[in-house]
Chain A
Amino acid sequence: MTVHPRSLLASAAALILALFLTLPAVAAGTGLIFVSTEKGNEIVVLDKDYTIVKRIPTSRRPRDMHFNAAHTLLYVACGDDDSIDVIDVATLEVVDSIPTGPSPEVFAFTGDESAIYVSDEEDSRVERIDLTSRISTQDIPTGAEPEGILVTPDGKTVYATSEVADMVHVIDPASGAVTKNIVVGTRPRRLILTPDGSELWVSCELSSEIDIIDTKTLEIKDSLTFVPPGFREEDVTPVGMAITRDGSKILLSLGRANHIAIIDAHTHDVLKYVLVGKRAWSIDLSKDEKIAIVANGLSDDITIVDMASMSAVKSLPIGRVPHSVVIDD
């Protein structure tokens, strides 16, 4: 066996990196950026300088990703292998795989991280999987193609969208039953909750609107559309959202309109439309909220957005069909 000097160098670098990563108890975060690629079957890892440092092979069709609270593990829903893979953030290896129902798409942890709620896209149900026993402890029928999942911080409510049935299901996690169905716009995708818990924002991809649900009355209190100059309403297919910690700004990806909108969360005014890549979907904000990163599914790249100037800084090629981005900081 011959060892190529470059690979030796790479191994040494990886070793140093690994040592560095394991040292400061990870609470500070590694600064690494993780991008799931639906057709690449891998998580692409970039460092703070946006250099690709690793491609982690996963089960097929990795999509939604979440860290545990300690940021030691990264969970990845892999739709074509019916599993949630678990990546060790220190070693950047897949260390575990949790079986799910057919085609897991989006998931959320319960507050104590004892379980996850996951939408099984091909099975019209949301299931609660106990993370210790790996057993599905709740099996909640939903409309077809469930997607967005949100567990409220108090753990008392779970919200799920059904893309086909145009509704948000309100689920009582204690009983595992749907307590209310809220009819929203066409093809609801993702959910975010304002920090005070009063508003649930729902992105409705095919009616080009954001429905804002009052979480007290569980009724739609406002419906917003965002159309960048030069586009038509039907070109706007909103999906991904992110919100600043103080709840002042919401970032919304506009899908086929190839832009994100940065919105004043209180006045609902658009502060800026930022041109990103093709079919912009998921967005993540860095902890210091200086940058946002957008996954562009149809141009195989991600776009870094500077939040101070609200402009795109650069786009980077990633791999086949980037789905989600998370930043470990």
Chain B
Amino acid sequence: MTRCLAAIGLLLAFAVQAGATFAGGSVTIGYLGLSDDPRYQPDLVYTRIEINPPDDPTFGAKMGVDDLGIIGQAVGMSFTLDFEKAADITGLVDAVRRMVAAGEHFVIVDLPASLLDQVAALTRDQPVTLINATAPDDYLRTRCYPNLLHSAASDRMLADAMVQYLRTQNWTRVLVLYGEEKRDKEIADAFTAAAQRLRLDIADTRQFTLATDPANREQNNAKLITGGADYDLVFLADSFGEFGRYLPYATQLPRPVVGTAGLVASAWHWSADHDSATQVTLRFGRFTNGLRMTGHDWSTWMAAKAIVTSYVKANSEDFKKVDAFMRSNRLRVDGSKGVSMNFRPWDGQLRMPIMLSTSNAVIDVAPLEGFLHQTNVLDTLGTDEPEFKCQ
């Protein structure tokens, strides 16, 4: 009863407030996904053993709007999400056009890179800002689409975070292994570029295959592919994950594995316990009936928070004003990583710390102590302004 009365009191208070400060209305934020996105299917391996539960990053965006709904009410604005999915590029572009026609000027995009690339190109004339929340691919950052920002960590940011850690540990000789997927080579290349910047030694770079063909055992056998070289650790680029499951503890030399197995760099890990990270993970768990927050969820959450915060702090519903605020250094979004974050002007990438975690603990958070930068230490992660070129 008390709770009910208090809630009514609160609502009344908001009603009074709304009239007093801002004669605002309702804002709808778009969310564009891919039908049956293969990235979010349950991670089933041989005989259908589930090694990871299915993921649904829409929850992150919902939680972002839910977290900040109250601040919107304080200035007389309400926020809702419009979820659309399509199966192909035509459907996706149509969905964006429909959203814009309905007055939605910010769209959280949850698509694989190749589709996002086309959507951004085909909607660049529209009054809309897309926020890439789940595609880490570096090439999207150098496209320089004027209508595209990124709340997903890029491959290069993840690689720089890992390399800072290896440099700090003085583990400098690296054996790089990558698989046959196109993504594997991209992840390995991002790592190699980061390693060169901090002058790690790449002892060797080798491609593995998934098979037990004896004629090809130098490439498919964990011991053989990690033999015949001396190194401090193995960096593994295995987006499929099957080879990586069996690599730690199976290397020729007793060396740690990092990359897509072992120590992994990501935007978020559920075991983080500093800077109110636990509260975020627990709220997410309640929101999703027990899911553990992943990097994808964190990035959709941040995209929603950046949009709502920009509307509220710009105190406007004018797309141009809100967009300008969002891209300025006046935006300070809290992502529960202990620092405020905003978007880099040169590539539209959200600045953020990166977590380096095992399966159940965050070992360290980059930027690590001692990696300095002339303007913002977060810019030690990812492609920095002087080295950035649109392509």
Chain A residues within 8 Å of B, Cβ to Cβ = 103, 121-122, 136-145, 162-167, 175-183, 185-187, 206-208, 232, 234, 237, 256
Binding site secondary structure of chain A:
loop
* A186-B340 in contact (CB<8A): yes
* A167-B2 in contact (CB<8A): no
Which of B3, B10, B70, B332 interacts with A206 by CB under 8 Å? B332
- What 9 new A-B contacts, CB under 8 Å, besides A142-B70, A178-B14? A138-B6, A141-B10, A145-B279, A165-B71, A177-B13, A178-B13, A183-B71, A183-B312, A187-B340
A-B contact pairs, 24 of them (CB 8 A): A122-B279, A138-B2, A139-B3, A139-B6, A141-B6, A143-B67, A144-B70, A165-B67, A165-B68, A165-B70, A165-B74, A166-B334, A167-B74, A176-B2, A176-B5, A176-B6, A177-B9, A178-B10, A178-B13, A181-B73, A182-B74, A187-B334, A207-B332, A256-B338
Contacts of A145 in B (CB 8 A): 276, 279
Residues of B in contact with A, size category: 20 to 34
Q: In the complex the two chains form, what is the Cα distance from A141 to B276 in whole Å? A: 19
**A182 — nearest CB in chain B belongs to which residue?**
B74
Closest Cβ of chain B: how far from A250's Cβ, in Å?
23
* A234-B340 in contact (CB<8A): yes
Contacts of B2 in A (CB 8 A): 136-139, 176
Q: In the complex the two chains form, what is the Cα distance from A162 to B69 in whole Å? A: 12
Of listed B6, B68, B282, B339, residue having the most chain A CB within 10 A: B6
Q: In the complex the two chains form, what is the Cα distance from A76 to B13 in whole Å? A: 32
* A177-B6 in contact (CB<8A): yes
Contacts across chains A and B counted by CB atoms under 8 Å: 98
* A167-B71 in contact (CB<8A): yes
Contacts of B67 in A (CB 8 A): 143-144, 164-165
Contacts of B376 in A (CB 8 A): 232, 234
Of listed B12, B283, B340, residue having the most chain A CB within 10 A: B340
Q: In the complex the two chains form, what is the Cα distance from A141 to B9 in whole Å? A: 10
Q: 8 Å CB contacts to A: which residues of B255-280?
A: 276, 279
Chain B residues within 8 Å of A, Cβ to Cβ = 2-3, 5-7, 9-10, 12-14, 17, 67-68, 70-71, 73-75, 276, 279, 282-283, 309, 312-313, 332-334, 338-340, 376
Contacts A177-B10, A206-B334, A237-B338; A144 near B74 (Cβ below 8 A): no
Closest Cβ of chain B: how far from A123's Cβ, in Å?
10
**B335 — nearest CB in chain A belongs to which residue?**
A206
Contacts of B70 in A (CB 8 A): 142-144, 162, 165, 167, 181
Of listed A138, A167, A178, residue having the most chain B CB within 10 A: A178
* A176-B9 in contact (CB<8A): yes
* A178-B334 in contact (CB<8A): no
* B282-A122 in contact (CB<8A): yes
Contacts A137-B2, A180-B17; A121 near B339 (Cβ below 8 A): no
**A204 — nearest CB in chain B belongs to which residue?**
B332
**A181 — nearest CB in chain B belongs to which residue?**
B74
Of listed B74, B75, B338, residue having the most chain A CB within 10 A: B74
Q: In the complex the two chains form, what is the Cα distance from A163 to B275 in whole Å? A: 11
* A181-B276 in contact (CB<8A): no
Q: In the complex the two chains form, what is the Cα distance from A10 to B264 in whole Å? A: 49
Closest Cβ of chain B: how far from A17's Cβ, in Å?
36
* B71-A206 in contact (CB<8A): no
Contacts of B7 in A (CB 8 A): 141
